[in-house]
Amino acid sequence: MPHTPVWFMRQAGRSLPEYRKIRAGVGMLESCRRPELVTEITLQPVRRHHVDAAILFSDIVVPIAAAGVDLDIVAGTGPVVAEPIRAEADLERLRPITPADVDFVAESVKLLVAELGATPLIGFAGAPFTLASYLIEGGPSRTYLKTKAMMYAAPKLWDALLSRLADITLTFLRTQIDAGVSAVQLFDSWAGALSEADYREHVLPHSARVLRGLADAGVPRIHFGVGTAVLLRAMGEAGADVVGVDWRTPLDHATGIIGPDHALQGNLDPAILFAGWDVVRCEADRVLEQGRAAPGHVFNLGHGVMPETDPDVLTRLVAHVHEASAR
Amino acid sequence: MPHTPVWFMRQAGRSLPEYRKIRAGVGMLESCRRPELVTEITLQPVRRHHVDAAILFSDIVVPIAAAGVDLDIVAGTGPVVAEPIRAEADLERLRPITPADVDFVAESVKLLVAELGATPLIGFAGAPFTLASYLIEGGPSRTYLKTKAMMYAAPKLWDALLSRLADITLTFLRTQIDAGVSAVQLFDSWAGALSEADYREHVLPHSARVLRGLADAGVPRIHFGVGTAVLLRAMGEAGADVVGVDWRTPLDHATGIIGPDHALQGNLDPAILFAGWDVVRCEADRVLEQGRAAPGHVFNLGHGVMPETDPDVLTRLVAHVHEASAR
């Protein structure tokens, strides 16, 4: 590629008027299960922004809903689990999945690969810790109190839960790879709530089982979380080819921490997009410059596109990254 | 002191039944303005847990309410500002304060010092960035979108706002010192939303003006924020004697980052308190052991006591820290 590739987490979503229009009246989970709708939503930012990759429109709770968990995605709140998992008997509500349980995802991927041509499609799954946090808390959390309490006080139950989630995630990603995605990203969005020691003991083995379980698939594996300054090395060791970095750690520092064997993805603060074009351009140039220290750099934000973002700024940013990095 | 001193952020508060009883029917802001009530609430955890310090019961928005900002503290939400500050003209709603504007705080401190005897009282203020985030967002935030947008796009307005907040904070803490507190803690709870470069450029100078402005007062200055792994060195440089560390960074790592001139405070994860006594004891011992690397260690949690915490666990933890560190 003659320039640094660029895509955005949550590039398909509420920042786009064409997304809000097509989603009107369709629930989030329902929209993830309709291949034609997934295809259109996934393609929208590719058409509009000319990003270098599409990312499958989905939600991290899609595979656990397919595994039998009664949940809904509530607008303005996030995933809400009807009966949280707090005891061993609750594990029965989380059965293994087969590719047939997520056939709508395979169908979406096939439709997308046919439409996208040379543009790669990135597959998508939540990591065991982040999925567990929703299942245990019953919804989004700021403190992860019940999640951590189980992790510390009931390590056998914790391991059983995360093992099930690792199996589900592996099947979910393998289904996407078999259907044709060119890369996968494992989102451990909330792993940054943990210290490195706790992450290594209680989380890394499960994420590693997912990432290493895909080693023979021959597609790049991206591993991302927010607020992971102290976890970056461990997240690389979990078996990723590319580590996603939020805006708190400059990419040159990050590559010093993670080492020369991993490409980096990131890491413009999504809030920068609200600061006017001069600031956006200047900060994007800084990210590109710092990214040169890494053995490979995929330009992205440091977290997802915020719904209030002006999509024209994203379009302009893609063009700028292409132009500035080709120089 | 024959043992490591220990106190807990939010030790006075909702975890205590005697607090919930005495607060019944009294709004949060109102309760911070009644010296007899402040005194009783501040003393409750000292009596119950035998901690080595009291921390003045207050809220970080108390001085900005005294400065004329129309706000309320809404149960279950947090501070809600009626008219957020978004433009230069809005700054007029934030006038300087004099000690007379916060005379209830001086009165509370005097009552407390008389009651506490040899037990030190720690004064309390929010740092300019965290205060600004409430004023700009209009309430709590997960993204600090409007705060960062002002910081990047309107640096003059930003500096004017944070300068006013630094002056207010300085007067608020000086009033507490003049009334007799033995130490002060500057809470920059949400500074961890920033990269080190942004913190150094846009925040540190204002926090430093507060902390250095108290250098001649002869009381230790503690500086704390959450998720500050990449900011620890800068937070020490801002002029603190003690840097508070959350649970994400082990204290031995932290002292390597911050250097030998600063004592540390922290850093047991408040979620550990829900994991059963064996885990609490084991993790407390780890914190004490790692704290030995620092030139001084004040045992604390890595963030505030959560309302759901069993107070008996805190009492037992204080006794354990005293006993284990005296060995």
Per-residue pLDDT for A10 more than 90? yes
pLDDT at A76: 85
Per-residue pLDDT for A1 more than 80? no
pLDDT at A291: 98
Active site residue A164: no
Q: Answer whether B192 sits within 8 Å of A227, measured CB to CB.
A: yes
Distance in Å, alpha carbon of A122 to nearest chain B alpha carbon: 26
pLDDT at A75: 87
Q: Are B247 and A265 in contact (CB under 8 A)?
A: no
B305: pLDDT confidence band, cut at 50, 70 and 90? Answer: very high
Q: What integer is the mean pLDDT of B70-86?
A: 94
Helices within chain B (DSSP H only): 17-23, 28-32, 35-49, 62-66, 103-116, 128-137, 145-153, 155-179, 196-198, 204-212, 232-237, 251-258, 277-291, 311-326
B275 in contact with chain A, both atoms CB, cutoff 8 A? yes
Per-residue pLDDT for B66 more than 80? yes
Phi-psi region of A323 (alpha: psi -120 to 50; beta: other; left: phi over 0): alpha
The CATH number of the domain holding residue A121 is 3.20.20.210
pLDDT at A2: 85
Helices within B245-310 (DSSP H only): 251-258, 277-291
Q: What integer is the mean pLDDT of A150-175?
A: 98
- Indicate the length of chain B as a whole number: 327
* Domain extent for B172: 17-326
The crossing angle, in degrees rounded to 10, of helices B277-291 and A145-153 is 90
Give per-residue pLDDT as tens, A76-86: 889 999 999 99
Q: What integer is the mean pLDDT of A99-103?
A: 97
Structure-derived torsion over alpha carbons of residues A26, A32, A34, A40, reported in degrees to the nearest 10: 90
pLDDT at B81: 96
A2: in domain? no
Q: What integer is the mean pLDDT of A170-193?
A: 98
B65: in domain? yes
Give per-residue pLDDT as tens, B182-225: 999 999 999 999 999 999 999 999 999 999 999 999 999 999 99
- Residue A286: its H or E element: helix A277-291
B192 in contact with chain A, both atoms CB, cutoff 8 A? yes
Residues of chain B found within 8 Å of residue A149, distances taken between Cβ atoms: 271, 274-275
List of residues 6+ apart from B72 with CB closer than 8 A:
B27, B29, B79, B80, B82
Query: What does the mean pLDDT of chain B come to?
Result: 97
List of residues 6+ apart from B302 with CB closer than 8 A:
B226, B245, B246, B247, B248, B266, B267, B268, B269, B270
Q: Are B235 and B223 in contact (CB under 8 A)?
A: yes
A39: in domain? yes
pLDDT at A327: 80
B76 in contact with chain A, both atoms CB, cutoff 8 A? no
A81: in domain? yes
Q: Which amino acid is at B133?
A: S
Q: Answer whether B275 sits within 8 Å of A148, measured CB to CB.
A: yes
Q: Answer whether A143 sits within 8 Å of B230, measured CB to CB.
A: no
B152 in contact with chain A, both atoms CB, cutoff 8 A? yes
The residues that bridge with A223 in the sheet, in sequence order, are: A186, A243
pLDDT at B229: 97
Q: Are A246 and A146 in contact (CB under 8 A)?
A: no
List of residues 6+ apart from A117 with CB closer than 8 A:
none
Short-list B322, B304, B221, CA closest to B266: B304
B2: in domain? no
Tokens of A50: 């000319």
> Which chain A residue is nearest to residue B227, measuring alpha carbons?
A227
pLDDT at A79: 95
A88: in domain? yes
Q: In angstroms, what CA-CA distances link B268 with A317, B105, B119?
A: 42, 30, 23
List of residues 6+ apart from B173 with CB closer than 8 A:
B123, B125, B184, B186, B210, B214
Give per-residue pLDDT as tens, A43-61: 999 999 999 999 999 999 9
Q: Answer whether A308 sits within 8 Å of B149, measured CB to CB.
A: no
pLDDT at B206: 98
Give per-residue pLDDT as tens, A233-259: 999 999 999 999 999 999 999 999 999
B309: in domain? yes
- Number of domains observed in the structure of chain A: 1
Per-residue pLDDT for A147 more than 80? yes
Task: Please state, in angstroms and rounded to a whole number, the distance separating the CA atoms of residues A166 and A169.
Answer: 5
Task: Please state, in angstroms and rounded to a whole number, the distance separating the CA atoms of residues A184 and A170.
Answer: 11
A6: in domain? no
